[in-house]
Chain A
Amino acid sequence: MTGFARSVARGLGAAVLGVLFWQAVVTLADLPRFILPAPLLVAETLWKSRVLILENAWITLIEVLVGLVLGAILGGLSAIGLAASPFARTFLRPMLVFSQAVPVFALAPILTLWLGYGLWSKVAMALLIIYFPVTSAFFDALMRTPPGWLHLAQVMGADKRREMWLIRIPAALPGFASGLRLAAVYAPIGAIIGEWVGASKGLGYLMLLANGRAKIDLMFATLIVLAVMTLLLHTVVDRFCRWLTRHS
């Protein structure tokens, strides 16, 4: 069995165990369906409401992807800027760290006020949540280029920009990749929080709606789709990161 097949089998095994445990809790504790619906009921709702859920999942997916790509680009550029310029390090780095003292969640209402109920307030949330981990992981790696390589470049008479592009950035790609892996997990959180605060579409919106109408089975069905989406996103990003660092 290949490594991939084995990890899929392991994941399925864990899912089956989880569902069995879920059913056991429902049966043994005799929970009403508006507290914890049984797995089969959730599966039924998932199938019946598939169009509704997928329509909203699509919206959330777009928000997450746009946020992820923009956050990765902005974080990457910021890290390079910080690494290239001592001036930027002196003045911008404290600001960057200070900005982390503000809980990003608390910004969601403001972002909704500024950017409206549509796509961009959620993209902004996702972006804000992943910007710091990407920047910080990549920046740390950029500042830790093996000194031997830098000495070699200096003796060769390298110009600083080319040294950055040809040595420091390729050498720091594993750091960028670890930031990106974190980002893939954080970005959906940002988008969902954005949707909770103010939206008329998306999985976060659908969950609130279902909750408000005591359709707990729909809420769980939505939650499962969100979890699967996050897992798939993580897998895709992980593949990309492995490709990015294939020579490191």
Chain B
Amino acid sequence: MSLAPSLHVTGSARIGGVRIFGPLTLQAPAGQWNCLLGSSGVGKSTLLRILAGLDEDITLDAKAGAGDGLPLAGRVALMAQSDLLMPWLDVMGNVTLGAKLRGEAVDTRQARAVLQRVGLDEHLHKRPRALSGGQRQRVALARTLMEDRPVVLLDEPFSALDARTRATMQDLAAELLQGRTVLHVTHDAAEAARLGQSIVLMTEAGIDEITPPAAPVPRAFDADETLAFQASLLRRLMVTQ
């Protein structure tokens, strides 16, 4: 993995003449877990798509890219709310999909190692249908790790999971994605309070940077400090709508 760059987006975006967001300025420091917190419909996912290079239908009056000035293409991995697993491939096949799509040699040893880290090494040959929602999202995480990209874009990847599974996945992702520049789009104040090393609040009015607690991530979900911070985030979300 190359050195993780910082990310930035400055400007505004429209889809089919409708303003989606902006003008605004987003800065995501390098090598940190950056939470982009906001309610549905404020354009968080659009912002993420722009950084992922999935902006064909977006009219962009903005500058977006990496702090080191190099193109982002090929340095980004994506994890979405839906696990996006291929139902006809087994766990191993899904985790090594990226290499196969690029025509590269498949490193099954690396894939096994990654699957071991997410605790799925006993399910290598199961199809997604035979897995629980949490397990499927672990496979998606393993696939993301397998891509080994310095920038990881997360689009509410844990929001469809139950509370317990979500907390476990948050811990696992925070541990395994350490050192990469993560931009994590979420509407969940509790999630941002646990995971954000840098947090920005996105509303119709624009973007606000919020200083998170000093405790290292993932912060304990039941610590007073985390809960107080979560409450303050929620309060600001309520006020700005």
Contact = CB atoms under 8 A, between A and B. Distances in A.
B53 interface: yes
A150 to B, nearest CB: 9
Nearest to A153: B101
Interface residues of B, number: 25
A148 interface: yes
Contacts of A171: 86
B86 A148 contact: no
B74 interface: yes
Nearest to A247: B88
A154 interface: yes
A156 B101 contact: yes
Contacts of A162: 100-103
Contact of A159 (B54, B101, B153): B101
A60 B76 CA distance: 57
B103 to A, nearest CB: 6
B78 interface: yes
B237 to A, nearest CB: 27
B80 A247 contact: no
A248 B103 contact: no
B51 to A, nearest CB: 10
Nearest to B54: A151
B160 to A, nearest CB: 13
A151 B52 contact: yes
B12 interface: no
Contacts of B77: 155-156
Contacts of B127: 247
B147 interface: yes
A122 to B, nearest CB: 36
B79 to A, nearest CB: 9
A47 interface: no
B134 interface: no
B87 interface: yes
B103 A148 contact: no
Nearest to A167: B86
A151 B78 contact: yes
Contacts of A153: 101
B84 interface: yes
Interface of A: 148-149, 151-159, 162-163, 166-167, 170-171, 247-248
Given A149-B84, A151-B54, A247-B127, 6 more contacts: A152-B80, A155-B53, A156-B77, A157-B98, A162-B102, A248-B87
